[in-house]
Structures are given as structure tokens and as C-alpha cells.
Amino acid sequence: MAAVLLTGCAPGVREAQPFDGIWASDGFAVYLDVHGGNADIYEHSPAHCALVYGGSARGISDVLSLDQGRLVLDDSGRVIHFDPIAALPGGCADDFASDDAARITAVASATMEELYRPALDPAWTGRLEGVMPGLAGIIDPAATFAALVSLLAPLDDPGVRLAVDDSSIWDGVWSAGGGPFAGREPYFPPGLETSAVTGDDGIVTGSFGAAGYFGLARLGAFAGDDEGSQRVLAAELDAVLAESASVIVDLRASSSGRAVEGMLVASRFVPDERLVATQMSGATAAGDVTVSPMVGGPFAGRVVVLVGPGTAGAAEMLVLALRDLPGVTVVGEATAGSPTPPLARTLPNGWLLGVPTLDLVTPDGASWSGVPIAPGVMAPVTESDLDSGIDPGVAAALALLS
């Protein structure tokens, strides 16, 4: 959320005046304090309150509005509602920074308990009670990482993530799930012709004869900014579609990204504008996921969408947008059942914890949080398959497209 407000550096006193006051979010555990042309953003849980941004409110009117006494923030399609409060809790004035393993783990666990959707597993409390006594007085990043992993890994949810600022502990972003494709990005299926990787290793393109291949390790972050990222994604996808009689869209390793990029992909295949789903924070709507068609109409060839346990977040939104279209077949294994992009929360040592926070409800009233999307054609893939250069999912896709 802080990044949404970092649109300028100069003071914005007059612009911020309509939003002056202290506000508490509905379902996102955020306080917003707007005062004198500045905005302070606090993340909180029952165990902490942390100032994560303090500075100019310039540009605030681009993302904030007032609706019957409530403040509404539009964060690239994710809508956050705020209600006024009299004052910040006293703990928000405390120093948040700490390298203490017990403190970091306590904040992470409290954040998960408050925000994680659909629900923590029944063994969560036991794991926490087993981990915490061993962390007393420990100032050791490796011990902290090990404790967090022991808590989070059993969730088997690729949307739960840790961005660790220490390459000696973990190289990249750790994810609590993902299946056999985790750690294999970029992934090149055996037999892929004219293959290429672009978008900071996020997009793999190629062909199997007349069948095009478009593999996504994530949905977004293909360039230095959002607009550039969408240009790269659109250009690479359109190039594959223009040269292909049919196409394989591989989402088996795609567990991060934004809904807007997912719907950009969907726009190449849908014949009309449609509501895919609504993100929900409890009983409050937190943003619609919609897709609009391309002017030239949808791709005319057959489409296979490959999915598996590493398909999460915006990729699951994309599957929901495509799965019932004529000519589309979903192949692979059940998805993660974690269909909304995670909310990034700051831990006391500066690491970031990604927490799936919202429910996703389709127009038929079905909730997809915690509910994997089943493929139409099963094609399980194991790590030993991939180690041996075998991909049953691609084989099944090519058989359908032949």
C-alpha cells in the first residue's frame, strides 16, 4: 500500500486536506494518518504496530476518495475501505525494528493469525508453541528463517512468501509451496523449439510445431515499472499467438503477480467483457476482477492451460477467466486454492511476509479461497519426471492439440 502513495515528493497540503485524520482499514490491518500534507502508514497486528511509510501526501487524491464518511483506496484494482478513529494506539509510537528472533516470529505469527485466508491449519498453534521457547534471546537471521519456515511450510501455499534480505540464507523469495516446478524458473519443457526467455526470466516462449508455448513464472515484474511490465507481457504473448495455430499457456510455476496482468492475458481469449470474480475482505467487496476483449476478437485457435499446485494468486484468477471458454481445456493437477495476490507485510528485521488476505467469489456465488481449481484433464508431474526430462503435462497438451 505504501508504494501507491509514493507518487510525488513535494508537499500536498491542499490536496490532502479532505482526507485529514486517522483512519483504520477494514480487513487489511493498516492505519493511515493524514496530517498537514503528509501521510503516515502503519501496519499492525495484535502483536505490533509499525510505521512503514511517513512522508509527502502528494498524489494522494489519485488513489483516495471519500464515500459517505469512509475513505476508499484503489490499489490497482484492490479496494481498501477505511473508517475514522480518534487516535492511534499507543504502541504505534514504539520502536518497531528488531533482530530478535522471538520478536520477529511473534509478529509474523500474529500477522498470519489475523490476516491469512482461508484459515490456518489445525496444527498451527502446536507448531508455534514448539518453536517460540527455543528463540528466547536469539539474534541470528538463520535461526529466525528456520523458525519461520517451520511455521509456514506446512501450509503448502505458494502465496505465503518470505522476501529475505540475506542471500547467505535464501537466494530469492522463499515460498511455502509450489510443487515440482518450484525453483525451476525459467522452465523450458523438453522438445520446445525456438525457445526464448524474456521479461527478467519471467516469460518463456517457443513452439512445438504449430502449437505455440507461453510459460509464465509469474504475472508481472517483467520491467522496471508496471506500464513497462504490461508492454513486455503483451508483446511476448501477441507474438506467440500471431505465429501459432494453437497455444499452450503454462501456469504451473506462476504463483505471484497482479490481477491486472492476469486479465491482460485473458483479454486475448475472451469474446466479451465480463466479471471474473470479486475480491472480498470479510463481507466487504475489495475490488472486482474484470476482463475486456481485444478489438480484433479472441484468439481463434485451441488453447490448453497447464496448471498445478504452483498455480496461485493472479494465475488462478486467469484460470477462472479462461476455463469455461470454447476451445479451452485446463490440463494438469489441481491448483493451490490461494487465488488472490498476497499482501506484503514488513517484519521487524526488514524482511517481507506475503500473506494471502482476501477471499475470491465468482458471479455464481462460489468462494475459491482454499478451494483448488480442478483441471478438466489430469496430467500429474513429479520431480523425478522433470529430473528425467519428461513432462506428462506438455505431452497431454500436445495430444489434445494434435
Q: Which domains does the chain have, with CATH numbers?
A: 2-93 (2.40.128), 101-159 (no CATH), 181-401 (3.90.226.10)
pLDDT tens-place string over residues 67-122: 999 999 987 778 999 999 999 999 999 999 999 999 999 999 999 999 999 899 99
Average pLDDT over residues 346-355: 97
Decide if pLDDT at 3 tops 70. no
Radius of gyration for the chain, computed over Cα atoms and rounded to the nearest angstrom: 22
Please provide the average confidence, as pLDDT, over all residues in the chain: 93
Phi and psi based region of residue 45 (left: phi greater than 0; alpha: psi -120 to 50; beta: remaining): beta
Q: What is the pLDDT of residue 9?
A: 37
Percent of the chain with pLDDT over 70: 97
pLDDT tens-place string over residues 26-64: 999 999 999 988 999 999 999 999 999 999 888 888 889
Among 141, 110, 116, 140, residue whose Cα is nearest residue 128: 110
Decide if pLDDT at 207 tops 80. yes
SS3 314: helix
How many C-beta atoms lie closer than 10 Å to residue 199's C-beta? 22
Give me 101's grid cell: 528472533
Q: What is the pLDDT of residue 172?
A: 83
Q: pLDDT-derived band of residue 12, with 50, 70 and 90 as boundaries?
A: low
Average pLDDT over residues 152-160: 96
Give me 317's grid cell: 484468477
Q: How far is the first Cα of the chain from the last one, in angstroms, to the nearest whole number?
A: 46
> CA-CA distance, 203 to 116, in Å (whole number)?
29
DSSP conformational letter for 135: G
> CA-CA distance, 120 to 113, in Å (whole number)?
7
Read off φ and ψ for residue 123, nearest 5 degrees.
-90, 0
DSSP conformational letter for 363: T
Q: What is the pLDDT of residue 10?
A: 41
Give me 47's grid cell: 502483536
Q: What is the pLDDT of residue 204?
A: 96
**Burial (Cβ within 10 Å: 0-12, 13-18, ≥19) of residue 156:** middle
pLDDT tens-place string over residues 216-245: 999 999 998 989 999 999 999 999 999 999
Among 62, 51, 54, residue whose Cα is nearest residue 36: 54
The model's pTM is: 0.92
Q: What is the pLDDT of residue 8?
A: 39
Q: What is the pLDDT of residue 59?
A: 85
Decide if pLDDT at 348 tops 60. yes
Average pLDDT over residues 198-209: 92
